[in-house]
Amino acid sequence: MKRSRIVACALAFCGLVAAFTIVGSGVSNADASLDGRAAHATIRDASGAFLGVVTLRQIRRDTVLVSVTARRLAPGFHGFHVHAVGLCDPTTTDPAGNPSPFLSAGGHFNPSGPPHGHHAGDLPPLLTLQSGRSRAIVETGELTVASLFDADGSAVIVHAGPDNLANIPTRYTSSTTGLPGPDAATLATGDSGGRFGCGVVRRG
């Protein structure tokens, strides 16, 4: 009888521990295999000064949680994207030979090819306070952490200006093409200006 009680208590304790592990972890059994699929990027400006950190975590099979904490940015909105190449070279130049830091990171991460505003790497513009600090958390279902580690990797870019996400109504006419709506530059970058900060996406 005494031994039966000990065994019963042990089983009850094990059940309690198991229940606590499942509930307390915040990860369902279906998503447990995704735990640890995370990445991060340390954002620096062209001088190498630290600007902030971005983390990307695969929280579900179809959802990545993106968190960013940054400082030393100009107040207002900044374009904020995942770019297609994991190379942050501050010495790059544009085709005309003008300094263009971080052009090495390529265009926006966009494996399926839709226009800007629907690129896989498009994230909401980053709002910066008067203090120069920014903090944001967003979920995206347009990419996976694993997809960012293709042959040439990927990078996170913070732009100097705001991103309109190519949201130019057709009542406006492009000054370069004379056609209604956004022009080619807007469709590529959302007119968010130069690349102010860059960070290579790394595992963990």
Q: Give residue 68's pLDDT.
A: 98
DSSP code, position 108:
B
Q: Give residue 54's pLDDT.
A: 98
25 and 43 belong to one structural domain: no
Per-residue pLDDT 10s for the chain (204 aa) are 444 443 333 334 334 333 323 233 333 334 444 544 999 999 999 999 999 999 999 999 999 999 999 999 999 999 999 999 999 999 999 999 999 999 999 999 999 988 888 899 999 999 999 999 999 999 999 999 999 999 999 999 999 999 988 888 888 888 778 888 888 888 778 888 899 999 999 998
Q: Give residue 166's pLDDT.
A: 81
Q: Strand, helix or coil at 197?
A: strand
86 and 11 belong to one structural domain: no
Q: Give residue 197's pLDDT.
A: 98
76 and 8 belong to one structural domain: no
116 and 55 belong to one structural domain: yes
Q: Give the integer Cα–Cα distance in Å for 104 and 92.
A: 7
Count of structural domains within the chain: 2
19 and 69 belong to one structural domain: no
68 and 45 belong to one structural domain: yes
Query: Nearest Cα to 143, choosing from 199, 66, 86?
Result: 66
Whether residue 125 contacts residue 79, with contact meaning beta carbons closer than 8 Å, is answered with yes
91 and 187 belong to one structural domain: yes
23 and 123 belong to one structural domain: no
User: CA geometry: angle at 97 spanning 178 and 121, to 5°?
Assistant: 65
In angstroms, what CA-CA distances link 166 with 9, 65, 82, 186, 187? 64, 24, 16, 5, 5
Whether residue 120 contacts residue 142, with contact meaning beta carbons closer than 8 Å, is answered with yes
14 and 95 belong to one structural domain: no
Q: Which domain holds residue 80?
A: 36-203
21 and 40 belong to one structural domain: no
120 and 181 belong to one structural domain: yes
Q: Give residue 1's pLDDT.
A: 45
Q: Give the integer Cα–Cα distance in Å for 158 and 81.
A: 7
DSSP code, position 99:
B
17 and 42 belong to one structural domain: no
Half-sphere exposure of 28 (CA within 13 A, CB side): 5
CATH number at residue 51: 2.60.40.200
Q: Give residue 34's pLDDT.
A: 54
pTM of the model: 0.79
Q: Give residue 129's pLDDT.
A: 98
Per-residue pLDDT of 132-183, as tens digits, reads 999 999 999 999 999 999 999 999 999 999 998 888 888 888 877 888 888 8
